Amino acid sequence: MSRLKTHLEPFAVRLRPHLKTAKSAEVARLVTDGQAGPLTVSTLREAEYFLEHGFSDLLYAVGIAPNKLEHVFDLRRRGAELSIVLDNIDMAGLVAAQCAERRDRLPVLIEIDVDDHRSGIKPQDPILAQVGRTLHEGGAMLAGVMAHAGSSYFSKGAVAFEDMAEQERSGAVAAAEALRGAGLPCPEVSVGSTPTALFSRDLAGVTEVRAGVFMFFDLVMVGIGACSLDDIAISVLASVVGHQPDKGWILIDAGWMAMSRDRGTARLSVDQGYGVVCDLGCNPIPDLIVIDANQEHGIIAHRSGTGPLPDLPIGTMVRILPNHACATAAQHDRYQVMNDGSIVSAIWPRIYGW
């Protein structure tokens, strides 16, 4: 976490960490240095949970659905400084009308599409100002624009991340300028993803940066060059429960229920299967990966399928580094916190569901 904070220090931007990966109040306290926010969340369940744990400055960064508005206003009545995002005129009209009716100037960021990745309005699209005007004149608070260059996960290496960060920044700033040019307010320009946040070289015009997976990192982030294997701060503990020497397999009691079905490294130059096998001290065992998984069984083998296997007797405990921290962490209801690589110093609960 210090790496991202150090990187962002020279820029006059707020860090609004995304808790979609960790979903834990203890992790949130660490990453906010004990402050009560600001945080980004991916569900209203997270907003509710973090509010109950003293975090009130919250951005719910998934395009709002009509049937979630009641919950949003309820959280605000209970003290959350909760803001939302949307990217279309229908929702803008509905939100503005609800704000007027409830006399609550809910802050709304307009989502900007900077990389054709998912959702958002293009910076140059005339709809942008219409959405802004609908919100601003209708009863909501037009708080600014938000962009997420999700394509950065499909880039590779520092130069590509720098370019993607600039594309994200310039797109978001262009959208903000389009709103301001139409006589509308746009105080916030929020951008971010772990690779773009870590490799941005210029944040002119940006007011806040969001990132989530950097708290733990994972094999996809290693594979695209955003971090090294040593940076991964999360693993799944498992026991050896069987051997199939004819097949070159060692069976463990962690399958896809423990690792998730995420196979993010399958598309990268090094396919890590369902995860990299490490000893209890988190040192990778050379060329040993989880090559396949059933619900509660993992199959460990040499990366080549046929290479030599170390002697891991029944009951040996191993740690598996995951493809995707967000997906793997979501399969568990708590973290066992290790301070020196072997002793559990705390149990941190995490939440789940919507």
Could you say which of 150, 171, 192, 195 contacts its own copies (CB under 8 A)?
150
Figure out which of the listed residues 64, 198, 219, 220 binds its own copies, where binding follows CB under 8 A: 64
Distance CA 59, CA 57 (A): 7
On the question of a cis peptide bond just before residue 245, with omega within 30 degrees of 0, the verdict is: no
What's the one-letter identity of residue 350? Answer: R
Residue pair 338/236 in contact (Cβ under 8 Å)? The answer is: no
Comparing CB distances to its own copies, the nearer of 242 and 281 is: 242
Nearer to its own copies, 136 or 263 (CB): 263
294 binds its own copies (CB under 8 A): yes
| Chain Cα centroid distance, residue 62 | 12
CB within 8 A of 192, min separation 6: which ones? 16, 18, 148, 168, 208, 209, 210, 211
* Region near its own copies per CB under 8 A, out of 32-40, 161-169, 193-201, 247-255: 247-255
Residue 14 or 332 with smaller CB distance to its own copies: 332
Number of chain positions touching its own copies (CB under 8 A)? 57
Task: Report the site for its own copies in 34-63 (rule: CB under 8 A).
Answer: 42-43, 62-63
Q: Dihedrals φ, ψ of 327, to 5°?
A: -75, -40
- By beta-carbon proximity to its own copies, the closer residue of 94 and 158 is 94
Based on the shown chain and the rule CB under 8 A, indicate whether residue 247 belongs to the binding site for its own copies: yes
By CB under 8 A, tell whether 267 contacts its own copies. no
Q: Verify binding: residue 71, its own copies, rule CB under 8 A.
A: no
Does 100 sit near its own copies (CB under 8 A)? no
Can you read off the two tokens belonging to residue 341? 């690589």
- Measure the CA dihedral 9/10/12/17, to 10°: -30
Q: Pattern of binders to its own copies over 306-345, x per CB under 8 A?
A: -------xxx-x------x-xx--xxxxx-----------
The CB-based long-range contact list for 285-289 (8 Å cut-off, 24+ gap) reads: 285/310, 285/318
Which residue number, 203 or 299, has a Cβ lying nearer to its own copies?
299
Contact, 20 vs 330, CB < 8 A?
Answer: no
Q: Does 256 bind its own copies (CB under 8 A)?
A: yes
Question: Applying CB under 8 A, does 277 fall inside the site for its own copies?
Answer: no
* Separation between Cα atoms, residue 147 and residue 57, nearest integer Å: 19
State in angstroms the smallest separation of the CB of 166 from its own copies: 22
- DSSP, res 37: -
Q: 147 to each of 197, 198, 276, 293, 325, how far by Cα in Å? A: 12, 16, 33, 36, 22
DSSP class of 116 = S
Chain residues in the site for its own copies (CB under 8 A): 20, 42-43, 62-68, 86-88, 90-91, 94, 113, 116, 118-119, 150, 239-244, 247, 251, 253, 256-258, 260-263, 294-297, 299, 313-315, 317, 324, 326-327, 330-334, 352-354
